[in-house]
A and B are shown apart, each in its own frame.
Chain A
Amino acid sequence: MDEARILAAENLSLRFGGVRALSDVSFSVRPGEIFSIIGPNGAGKTSMVNCISGRYRPSEGRVIFQGQDITRMGANRRAALGLGRTFQNLALFGHMSVLDNIMVGRHHLMKSGFARGMLYWLGGAEREEVLHRRAVEEIIDFLEIAHVRKAPAGTLSYGLRKRVELARAVAVNPKLILLDEPMAGMNLEEKEDMARFIIDLNQEWGMTVLMIEHDMGVVMDISHRVMVLDFGRKLAEGAPAAVLADPQVRRAYLGEADDVTAEA
């Protein structure tokens, strides 16, 4: 763990009453990689992401982001550090337009408070809006959602909403983006699009990606490294092929099938 790391979880444990959602999990994410967390339902994957994004406070252990201990930092302060995320269940602002949803992602990058906002033309709020609108339009272009720009987010189809959520997380301008099941409930074509977006984000936008995903085919194809969780414990961590070959992983998660790739 001495090599470069953008994010590290050190001995994380999370308990809800008597339930141990995470027990003593440690791992680290290197800058520039796509890191996936897999595991059966209830394995603690989302709990892990929630600990990193600040929704949950771990019972024990530390979360280190870019060398800084953020275990006890409020969730709203982590955006400014360069941490963005999407949610497993859609969490868009349903009554706002797609454009405004994504503009909310720029919140921590903007300075105009309510007073300058109210005066709009006088305090420079307009200039700032235009500036960030330009950045947002770039993201809209990249994710191919220009045609729904002005539609209320709540009226969009599931696949589009997932994409808008990704756009909003990208607008935060994160160094590390946490994607909680970005492809859940999508058809093959939408999944291929999403995989392409994630790779582009990683390679062209330079974002480190931490992703939870159930679609093994996608995970194995695009991840640099994979971690397997089961019942809140870490089973394995490493390159996709190595993890797949791990007998413990095969037993716990993939079953004892002879041909593992058939699972995909």
Chain B
Amino acid sequence: MALAPAGEFHASYRADMTIMPTRNSRRALLLGIVLLCFAPLVLGRYELGLLINIGFMGIAALGLNILVGFTGQISIGHAAFFGVGAFLSAYLHERFHIPVILCIPLAGLGTALVGLVFGLPAARLKGLYLAIATLAAQFILEDFFARAQWFTGGVSGRMTEAVELFGIRFDREESYFYIVLAFTIIMFVMAANLMRTRDGRALIAVRDHYLSAEVMGINLAYYRTLSFAISSFYAGIAGALYAHYLFFVSVEAFNILFSIQFLAMVIIGGLGSVMGSLMGAAFMVLMPEGVQALADMLAGGWIDRTLKLGASISFLREMAIGAAIIIFLVFEPDGLAHRWKQIKAYWKLYPFSH
């Protein structure tokens, strides 16, 4: 049950239904956002790049979490939808000269439509069968990217433009950071809102017990397909943010390994947790840095000489991702979000934890 600190009383239903249940949690969140606003003044471009990555990866992971964690469906093709968003945003700007800042949400909507089409089988399929169907979506879209020269630029890829707003070009980490921050906040608030209202509850109901969900008047086919569309919407927005950060989108990026990475983020962050998606994305973005730091630390030592760390660092990263997934599945299947809750409960009750 939720542990509320002494003195926190909700006197109205409205106050009882907020996203952040206590005054302090709201303050902490606001403080965090304010601090992040000052990040470009303090951090270097590389670190800002990492934060930007966490931002759009977090949005994509959140989309997958809505599908996998909240609705109990599965998708092994999330990276392909991410790719659709990236190309679509670039295409819309170049072809129709729509301002980039509008291209990003439009790309989200377009990707949602694509997701809707590929999500139609999801209305009838579950589990392993659905997994294979989404795998097919991954390969169909990958193949489409490789062939549709007009859309993706084919093997040579597609250049993208920077966001321009009020005469400012957001083409450096210091400025683009704010764009990603704004989108991240909006997308996460929207997901949190969804999950505390009618349709969000319906999605969770479909996951937890679809038979009784149906008796409660929930149309299973509609909500399973809707979940796909929403998930693709998030992937599309994330993909568009990625495209206008790198200024270049290439076909190879959106392969199945990338899809698995999104699944890893969701599992590590916590299935069915909005904030967990961000934690999982942060973990997956920062882990290679950790591996690199570790390798640098060991450089020159006997471990380095016997294992040849320097040469095989890229393999080590991939292995670390796999190891992290396994370790989380075994020891922390509820993910970082759950661990974070445990830690909070521990401090709240300290030193009388029983």
- Taking Cβ atoms with an 8 Å cutoff, the residues of A that contact B are 53-55, 74-80, 84-85, 87, 91-96, 100, 103-108, 110, 112-114, 116-120, 125-126, 128-130, 133-134, 137, 150-151, 168, 172
Contacts and interface: CB of A to CB of B under 8 A. Distances in A.
Nearest to B186: A118
A117 B205 contact: no
Contacts of A100: 201, 204
Given A93-B205, A104-B216, A110-B198, 7 more contacts: A91-B211, A92-B208, A95-B207, A103-B198, A112-B198, A118-B191, A120-B197
A93 B16 CA distance: 21
Interface string B213-248: 111111110000010001000000000000000000
A79 B217 contact: yes
B341 interface: no
16 contacts: A76-B216, A79-B216, A85-B215, A87-B211, A87-B212, A93-B212, A93-B213, A96-B201, A96-B208, A103-B201, A104-B202, A104-B205, A112-B198, A114-B200, A119-B193, A120-B196
B201 A114 contact: no
Contacts, number: 126
B17 interface: yes
A104 B13 contact: no
Nearest to A126: B14
A130 B190 contact: no
Interface in B1-55: 1-2, 12-14, 16-17
A112 B199 contact: yes
Contact of B193 (A55, A105, A117): A117
A112 B197 contact: yes
Contacts of A54: 214-215
B272 A107 contact: no
A182 B191 CA distance: 36
B209 interface: yes
Given A91-B212, A114-B226, A107 B201 contact: yes
A150 B12 CA distance: 15
Contacts of B182: none
A92 B193 contact: no
B210 to A, nearest CB: 10
A133 B213 contact: no
Contacts of A172: 216-217
B194 interface: yes
Nearest to B21: A150
A107 B194 contact: no
Contacts of A93: 204-205, 208-209, 212-213
Query: What are the nearest 4 A-B pairs in CB distance?
Result: A79-B217, A117-B197, A108-B217, A93-B208
A133 B215 contact: no
A96 B205 contact: yes
B209 A117 contact: no
Contacts of A150: 1-2
B217 A77 contact: yes
A119 B272 CA distance: 20
Contacts of A106: 198
A113 B199 contact: yes
B13 A92 contact: no
Report the contact-size class of chain B (Cβ under 8 Å from the partner). 35 or more
A109 B127 CA distance: 31
A95 B194 CA distance: 17
Nearest to A118: B190
A39 B169 CA distance: 76
A95 to B, nearest CB: 6
A104 B197 contact: no
Contacts of B191: 118
Contacts of B218: 76, 104, 107
A130 B14 CA distance: 6
A105 B217 CA distance: 8
Nearest to A109: B217
Given A96-B201, A100-B201, A76 B219 contact: yes
B197 A79 contact: no
Contact of A76 (B13, B17, B204, B214): B214
B201 A105 contact: no
Nearest to B226: A114
Nearest to A96: B204
A13 B259 CA distance: 49
B216 A107 contact: yes
Nearest to B2: A150
Contacts of B1: 150-151
B201 A80 contact: no
Query: Which of B190, B198, B202, B219 lies at the interface centre, i.e. has the most chain A CB atoms within 10 A of its CB?
Result: B198
Given A93-B204, A96-B201, A129-B17, A117 B217 contact: no
A262 to B, nearest CB: 37
Most chain A CB atoms below 10 A, which of B17, B209, B213, B217: B217
Interface string B179-197: 0000000000011011011
A95 B197 CA distance: 16
A51 to B, nearest CB: 13
Contact of A95 (B202, B212, B272): B272
Nearest to A122: B193
Nearest to B230: A114
